[in-house]
A and B are shown apart, each in its own frame.
Chain A
Amino acid sequence: MKKRILISVSALLVICVLLSLLQALVIPKYTDNKEGALVSEYYGEVGDHDLIFVGDCEVYESFVPAYLWEKYGISSYVRGSAQQLVWQSYYLLEETLKYETPKAVVFNVMALKYGEPQREAYNRMTLDGMRWSTSKIGAINASMTEEESFVEYVFPLLRFHSRITELTPDDFRYAFRDNKVSHSGYLMQTGIVPQTDFSEGRAEVDYEIDENAWKYLDMMRELCADEGIELILVKAPTNSWMYWWHDEWEAQVDDYAERHGLTYYNFIPLADEMGIDWSTDTYDAGAHLNVYGAEKLTEYFGQILSEKHGLADRRNETELAEAWDARLEKYYEERNK
């Protein structure tokens, strides 16, 4: 009997180890779709940020923490991911505040147009990278589409097992180490695809921002208020019919900001003022900024942050400056490649 128990326990252990190894192998490494690797990179750079950006692609393609540091000495991090929904931004922020307390949080409002879970693939890109905590559990529960199961977030092998027949060398290379893709959460795009189609966005069926989206923005606002953090709303500059920011949404966000005493910057009409040229500063025909456009926006916004929101220049702090100098070096290394 004892022998049988010993064999059973050993066998179970072997199976668990084997499944863990297989899980590490089949989980997507996002070497092509780099957006999927963004969220987990934060844990390697936790702490001492005065500013945290949260939001979708419009934050991780538009705001450059390294450049912000270089120009204004503001220490910041971008906690953004592809199609990051409002509740995901909320839970990511909630999680971030467990590690550090910034002076300000910038939330990009584009995601307010979504009131319910969207696509499983984007959910996985945002949620798989989070460390386990009550925030992650909350984020999963708020984000799951009908086809998803919580248990598949706990054991990603159950979700990604079918990749076993399509593994690439990268799956082995990055099975047990991360593939660093961002610069403090900023995902660099150096390509240039000028805007050529000047059509306006398609009409929406309903312009009313969903209750659920407001609910999580309220929660974000309250969370910041409780921690004494200033919440700033922004809309990154875009100029594509595909990602059109409608006047009806603008009016509702404006109204919300006014009602709650929040600052809201819509950078779309300010694009000319900050020098954005839609023939050179976008990598996808106006939908997102490339690094040249992002630097212009960051410089413009950095001045506002320094002058109007009191974010201090910390370039004189030796230890912090050393860390940022190293990041800047890597930033320029990729930018000038």
Chain B
Amino acid sequence: MLFTSYEFLAFLAVVFLLYYILPKKLQWVTLLVASYAFYALAGVEYLAFIAVTTVSSFIATILMGRVSARENSYLEQNRAGLSKDEIKAYREKAKGRRFLILCLALLLNFGILAVLKYTAFAVVNINSWLHTFGAEGQLTVPSLILPLGISFYTFQTMGYLIDAYRGKAEIERNPFKLALFVSFFPQLIQGPISRFKDLGAQLTSPHAFERRNFTYGLQRILWGYFKKLVVADRVLVAINTMIDAPESYGGFYVFLLIILYSVQIYADFTGGIDITIGIAEALGIRLTENFNRPFSSRSTKEYWNRWHITMGSWFTDYIFYPLSVCRPMAKLTKGCRKIFGKNIGKRIPVYLATVITWFLTGLWHGAGWNFIVWGLLNCLIILVSRELEPLYAKFEKKFPRLHASYAYGVFMSVRTFLLMGLIRSLDCYRDVPLTFRMWGSMFTQFNIFEALGGGIEALGLGLADYIIIALGCVVMLAVSKAGKEISVRERLYDRPVLSWLCFGALFVAIILFGAYSVGYDASQFIYNQF
């Protein structure tokens, strides 16, 4: 059931109604039933996978809790008779047990994700190597199902497991409440990836109907649909035309693709997240924001602090930091310092952790070399930027007025936007050598006049479409600017006439200019595929 389908809107209306008319103690049960119904509608066969993740995580956390309880009780009773070393040894032993449970649960769940999502990719690569080395046999590429949102719910749930192990999250003792945390339907398919400490209690505590929350929620949903239907899905037509026949669309078209795809993925992904957060808000639940005006970023590092924030923080907290401080890395740091000196030695482990993190980030986005290369290119830009920091500092010192000027800020943002757009085009072509060739064509094919002289009209969009897209972008930019300090909804709340005017116009614009119904492909949100 796509967010953009009429069925979903009807489903949502029923959920809102039941949520607020049933007794408050049943609210979380309503959400759980709704979430499982939503998931079952995507494919009943998927239910088994999400159930395994839920049950295994529940058992693992309960077992870890028991180990901790036993440890505490034993130490409480026997502390007097134990030496410091004995206490330490006992604690280590208990920690080892918890760690074993954690590892088994992580292995099972990441194993499921890996098998379902990456087996075919691995087999294709093995076959390619076998062919390269002259082997005759080829392995059969399996066709496995990929449960909806598996990357998102696995990461969210494993985050909870790790937090429970670290003692940063309360252990949920009701399996059904945990099931709701894993399957909460608005965020199930494209995030944001929430933390249990932020979301767990909110989901299961009662929420009275609050007009302000509900209104804000509906307005945010509307805003999400505007981005998705009016902008993202309309741009998609031109993007698909260029991707389907890349050899016909080199040179200036690649530049155009980079711009249009940046617009599309922004409108699509932030639109989807707006709908998700809006639904939760209407239910009285506050989800973590996933974006913070990403295209205003002046550097790649800043961009990743503003784009898909919850995924970035997940990789930072659960991959990058543990990798950076783990024992083998400490040993490596020590060794590198000895060999390369203090300055370089301290960098190598950090850089290694960064490379691994970005490799995994790329892999998380999809089973393809384009995603891996995309991740590694992001990493490269971040590391190079870090190395160039002293140079930037010198420049800043030499030209303080220029550096502080508005124009320079715009230049930095445009540069970051184009750079991110460029490497993001790997996601469009989904073929690394092809993408590199297309990048090269920007410098070898000079067809800007051909494109502007009518070529872009052959991309499947008419003049009216380009005008609608441009106006949509202007509206998005204006709302982003206006909402920098206080959100537009808050600004408008006490001015009901203006509020109705704005959101009424938004509603009519969606109805009139949305790319939906027969003649338009009902396109999935891009991040649903991850």
Interface residues of A (CB under 8 A from B): 3-4, 7-8, 11, 14-15, 18-19, 22, 120, 147-149, 151-152, 157-159, 161-162, 164-166
Interface residues of B in 498-530 (CB under 8 A from A): 500-501, 504, 507-508, 511-520
CA distance A19 to B513 in the complex (A): 13
B496 with A162: CB separation less than 8 A: no
A149 with B496: CB separation less than 8 A: no
CA distance A166 to B468 in the complex (A): 14
Given A11-B500, A165-B464; A152-B517 close (CB under 8 Å)? yes
A148 with B518: CB separation less than 8 A: yes
Specify which chain B residues have a CB less than 8 angstroms from the CB of A158 in the assembled complex.
Answer: 511, 516-517
A161 with B514: CB separation less than 8 A: yes
Cross-chain pairs A/B with CB under 8 angstroms, 22 sampled: A8-B500, A15-B504, A15-B508, A19-B508, A22-B508, A120-B518, A147-B518, A149-B6, A149-B517, A151-B6, A152-B517, A158-B511, A158-B516, A158-B517, A159-B518, A161-B511, A161-B512, A161-B513, A161-B514, A162-B519, A165-B462, A165-B465
B517 with A159: CB separation less than 8 A: yes
A247 to chain B, nearest CB (A): 37
A164 with B512: CB separation less than 8 A: yes
B504 with A22: CB separation less than 8 A: no
Q: Which 4 A-B pairs have CB atoms at the shortest separation, nearest pair first?
A: A165-B464, A11-B500, A7-B496, A151-B6
With both beta carbons as reference points, the residue of chain B lying nearest to A158 in the complex is identified as B517
Pick the contact of A4 from B496, B508, B512, B513 — CB < 8 Å?
B496
CA distance A19 to B519 in the complex (A): 21
B236-268 interface mask toward A, CB cutoff 8 Å, 1 = contact, 0 = none?
000000000000000000000000000000000
Given A14-B504, A19-B511; A161-B496 close (CB under 8 Å)? no
The dominant DSSP class at the A interface is helix
Pick the contact of B500 from A7, A19, A148 — CB < 8 Å?
A7
B518 with A164: CB separation less than 8 A: no
Specify which chain A residues have a CB less than 8 angstroms from the CB of B517 in the assembled complex.
Answer: 149, 152, 158-159, 161-162
A103 to chain B, nearest CB (A): 40
Is B486 interfacial (CB-CB < 8 Å)? no
Is B458 interfacial (CB-CB < 8 Å)? no
Is B326 interfacial (CB-CB < 8 Å)? no
Is B22 interfacial (CB-CB < 8 Å)? no
Is B339 interfacial (CB-CB < 8 Å)? no
Specify which chain B residues have a CB less than 8 angstroms from the CB of A4 in the assembled complex.
Answer: 496
A157 with B511: CB separation less than 8 A: yes
B420 to chain A, nearest CB (A): 32
Specify which chain B residues have a CB less than 8 angstroms from the CB of A14 in the assembled complex.
Answer: 504
With both beta carbons as reference points, the residue of chain B lying nearest to A148 in the complex is identified as B518
CA distance A7 to B497 in the complex (A): 7
Interface residues of B in 67-102 (CB under 8 A from A): none
Among A4, A148, A152, A161, chain B packs the most CB atoms within 10 A around the CB of A161
CA distance A120 to B517 in the complex (A): 11
With both beta carbons as reference points, the residue of chain B lying nearest to A15 in the complex is identified as B504
A24 to chain B, nearest CB (A): 14
Given A7-B496, A120-B518, A162-B517; A15-B507 close (CB under 8 Å)? yes
Given A162-B517, A165-B464; A8-B507 close (CB under 8 Å)? no
CA distance A4 to B511 in the complex (A): 25
With both beta carbons as reference points, the residue of chain B lying nearest to A160 in the complex is identified as B517
With both beta carbons as reference points, the residue of chain A lying nearest to B497 in the complex is identified as A7
Specify which chain B residues have a CB less than 8 angstroms from the CB of A157 in the assembled complex.
Answer: 511
CA distance A148 to B511 in the complex (A): 17
Specify which chain B residues have a CB less than 8 angstroms from the CB of A165 in the assembled complex.
Answer: 462, 464-465, 468
A322 to chain B, nearest CB (A): 44
A249 to chain B, nearest CB (A): 30
With both beta carbons as reference points, the residue of chain B lying nearest to A152 in the complex is identified as B517
